A and B are shown apart, each in its own frame.
Chain A
Amino acid sequence: MNKFLLIGFFILFLVGAGACSAARATPLDMQVFSMIPLQHDGRVKPLESFARHMALRLTGTTSVQGRPAIDFLAEALFDPTRTAERPLFTIRNPEIKSLLGLPEEEKHFSLTVLLPGLQKEQKTIAAILARDDKSWSHTERALITLYETASDLRDLVKSLHFILPLRMPLPEFVRAELDIPASEADTYLDLKRYEEKISTFVRALPEEQVSDDLKLFILQLSLIEQSGDTEPFFRIMPPEWPLNQGQEWLSPWILINSGMGGPESAAYLDLWKDMAVAYRAQDTRAWQVATEAAYQKALSFKNSGVSPRRLVLETRYQQWNLLFYSFVLFGIATACGAAALSFPRVAVLRYLTAGALIPAVGLHATALCMRVMILERPPVSTLYESVLFVSLICVATALVFALFQKNKSFPLFLAAVSGVIFSFLSGYLAKDGDTLQVLVAVLNTNFWLATHVTVITAGYGLCVLTAMLAHGALLMKAFGKDVSGLTRKVWAPALISLLLTSVGTILGGVWADQSWGRFWGWDPKENGALLIVLWLVWVVHGKISGHLKETGFLVSVALLNVIVALAWFGVNLLSVGLHSYGFISGIAWGLGVFCTVEAVFVGVCGAVIKRKSYLSGVATCV
C-alpha cells in the first residue's frame, strides 16, 4: 500500500510541474514593456516586478484571472475601463457584502461595483483606521484590506487617464471655432494646452448654445482633473532636474500638476501615449517600436540612477521563477527519496533523487545570486531571505553529507524534505508582495549583513539539519534498529551548529554594540539566538557528562527544531524590542501546530523506545 502511495505522490508532483505555464491573452510582446523602470517602495524596479506586486495584492498570486501580471498591468493602464469592470475582487464575508450593499449571492466583484459602497462607508473605514490595528475584528481587517486594494487599483487605472482617448470628444463646432487640429484634440493632455482658450470660449457662449455634449465634455475634463489630484502612485517619470536631490521619481499626474516637467519628460510622456495607442489598437509592430523607444528613453534620463543590467536581471528573475521550479524539483526529489528509502535495493531511485536535487540546488543558488546582484547586498537581510538561505544551507550540507556516507538515501531524503519545507515557507512569506525590499537605516550595512546575519542563519540551517538527522535516528530506533553509528554522526553537525550560532550571536552583540551602544540588551531577538546556543551547550555537555544517554541526546537534538523555530519566527510575534524591522504576524497558528507536531513526534518516539528498552530488560531478566 505504501509503495502505491509513494508512486501516486510522485505522479502528483510531475503533474504539478507540467501545469505551471499560463497562456498569454494578448498578441503583444510584453518583454520590453516589462523592463521599463518605475520607482516603487523606495527603489527603481522594472514594471514586471510592479505588476506582480499588484497581482499579489489583488489575487494572492502572480497572475490575474489566468493572465500574466504584466498583461493585466498593461490593460489596467491603457484600457482601464475593461479592468475596472473585471470581477477581480473576491468577497465571501456576508457582513462586508451587506455593509457595501453588494448582492448576497455573488462573490466576485469589479472595481466599478465596489467603489460606490466603499465611498459611502468612508466614515466607517476612517473610524477603523483611527483605531489601533490590534483591536480590529476579522471583518474590519478584511474591510480595510479590501479598501486598500481597491484604492490601489483605482489609483492604477486612472494613472494614465490623461493620455488615453477621451470618451466624450471635444464637440466639433468648438474644435472648429477654436482652430484646434483634430490630432491635438484626442486626449486630456492634448487639450491641456488649450484649456484657457476653451474655458474662455465656453464662458462667452450664451446659455442656449451650451449643448449637452459640451456639458458632458466639460464635466469629463473636470473629473479627469480631479482624479489626478492624489498621492503619487505610479512613479514612472525619472527626475529631470538636478534640484530633485532626493532622486524621487514622479507620477505623471504630479508631474503635470506641479509643473516639474521639461522637454525630456514631455517626450517620454508622448512615448507612453504611443504605447497606449498601439495597445488599444493591438498593433504588434507599433507596440514593439513604442515600448523599445520608451525603454531607451527612460534609461537616457541623466538623474534616473537606473542600471540597465539590474533592470534586465530583475525582470529575468521575476519571469524565470527559478524558486518555483526548484520547489517542484525538491518535491520530485522528496518523492524519489521516500521511494529510495522504501526500496533500498533499487539504486535508480537514489540516482533519481540526486538527479532532481542537484538542479534544484542549482536553481535555488542561482536565484539567490541574482537577488544579491539585483539588490547589491549580502544574501540575507529579511526574514524571507533568511528562509531562502537556510534552505540552501540545509540542502547543500545534506548533499555534502551524502557524499561521505555509505547509505546515501537518508541524507538525500533529508536534503529534499528540507528543500520542500523551506520552499513552501518562503512561498508563504512571499505572499506579502515584493520580496526585493529596501532596508531600514540600521540594516544598511553590508559588513554586518555579510558577517553576523550570514553566520547566524547558516547556524539555523545547520541546526535544522542536525535536528532532522536526530529525527531519522529516533524513528529508526523506535523501529528497533541500531542507530549508534547515526548518533555519532549527529555529534559533529551539532558542534558545528554550536560554533556558527554562538559566533553569530556574539557577532550580533558586537553589531548591537556598534549601533545601539550595548553588547547585550535582553531584546527578544537576542534572547532567541541565545536560547539556541544555550540549548546546544546543554545538549553537548549533557552528552559529554553522561546525563543524556543515546535516546535523551537524540530527543534533545530533535527538539532543536522547535527552539530554532521559536527563536527565528516566534520572537518576531511579540512585536517588542529594537528589532522592529523583523516583526511579523499571522504565523502564530502555524508555529503552534509545528511545535505541537514536533513535540508529539519526539514524545511518541521516545515513549516507544523506552517501552522497547523496558521490555527487552524484562526479557533479559526472564
Chain B
Amino acid sequence: MTDAETLELTELCNALADDRLTEAQRVQLNERLAASEEARVFYVRFAGMNASLCDYSSELQADAPAPPKPKIIRHPMAWWAGIGAIAASLVAAFVLHEKPAVDPAPSVAWLTGSKDAQWNGSGGPQPGDSLERGQRLDLQSGLAEVTFDSGARVVLEGPTSLEVESAWAASLKSGVLTTSTPSEAAGFRVANTAVAVTNLGGDVRIETDHTGGAEVVALNGSAETAAPGRAEKVLLKSKQARHFTGGGAMPVADLDKKLSRFAQRAGLERKGRPVKLTQGSNARTVAFWVRIAKDATPGQQAEIAGFGRQKSNPLRVAWNTTPEHGLLGALRTELAGESIVGRTSLRDGEWHHVAVMIVGGKKTGRLELKQYVDGQLEGTKMLARKKVDGGDAREFVHAGDPMVGGELDKLIFADRPLTPFELRTLIDTNALPGGV
C-alpha cells in the first residue's frame, strides 16, 4: 500500500473503532478490503489491537474491586395509563433566549458545605454555588465540602488549594483533603505532583507536604495510587497508607495514631437554598422512575416524556432508537438543538431512575443540560443559549398517551438542579432531604 492508502485505511479503522463510521466510509472500507490482501492484513492487525485493548482494559478493571451496582427500588405501582392526568397539572415548557457573548466553562461540581471557611481573596464561593471546570479554590482556613457531579465528595481542610478539573477529577495544589466516593462515583481521581489517587469507593485522605511529597491514607474502601510517570500502581486497601515522594512510595509511620485522629470529623454546615417541588414555572429538575420492556421496539413510542412541545425549544426525554447515536435503549435527552445519549440501557425490563436537570442561567452566563440514570451522571451539554424560563403549567404534554412498552412512576419537578446527594436521597427514599 502507498503511504496515502495506509493513511486512508488508518482513518477508516479509527472511525470504525470509535463507532462513527459514516455510510460513505463504510462503502470505502469495503472497497479497500475487497481490493487488497495487504489492506486486509492491515485491518486484521488493527482490529486485533482493538480487541487487545479491550482485553487489557478489562484486566485492569478486574484488578480493581467492582463497585456495587446502584440499589434499584422496585415500583409495583405503574401508572403510565394515568400520566395524562398528572401531566395536566405540572409544568415545563422551556423558553430559551439570549446567546452568551463568550463560551463559559461548564459546571462540574457544587460547594455543598462549609465550617468557618475563610477564602483567599475577596468573596469566596458560598454553599449552593456551582463550580466551573478549571475553577481554583483557595481555602485559607476552616472546612469546605465540594460535591462533584459524579457524586464524589471532597472535604478541604484549610489552608488548601484545589483545582476542579471535571466531574471525575480534581488537582490538589497543596493542603489536605478527604475524598468520599459512593459506588456511582468510583473512579474519581485526585492528582498532584507526587501522586495520582483514584478512589475506588470509600474515604481517602491526601495531604501534601512542603517537600513536594504527599501522604495517602485509605480510611476505608480502597484506592489505586501511582506516582506520575510511573507505570506501577499501588492498591491501598482500608487502613493502608503510603507516602509518595519523587523517589517512590514509602510506608507511613505511626499509622494507627493517625487513623484514630482522622476518624474524628468536624460537622459541616450546609446552608444552600432548600430545594422545593414545583407545580408551576421554573422547573429545573425533572425526575422519575421508568421501566422499559425488554422487547420494546424502536418502532414503538420511544418518547418517555415531552415538555413544551408547542414551543420552539421543547425538552424531549426518550430512549434511544438510533444505534448511530449511541447505545440502543439508552436515555436520550434533547433540548435547544443539543442532545445527550446515555450509556445505560433502559430497555431491560428493570426500573431505572432518570433525572434531567437544567443548570445555570443568566446569573452564571451559562446554561447546561445534565442527565443522570440511577444516580450516575451520564452526560452534560452546554446549551447555546444562557437563559431559561419556566413555562405555562398547562403546557406539559406527554408524548404518546399511554406510553407504549413501558411504565413511569414518581414523577417530580424541582425548582432547582439537585445536588448528587439530594439525587441519591431521592433515589433511595423517594423523597428529597428534609422530607420534601
Partners in one complex: no
**Which residues of B are in contact with A by a Cβ distance under 8 Å?**
none
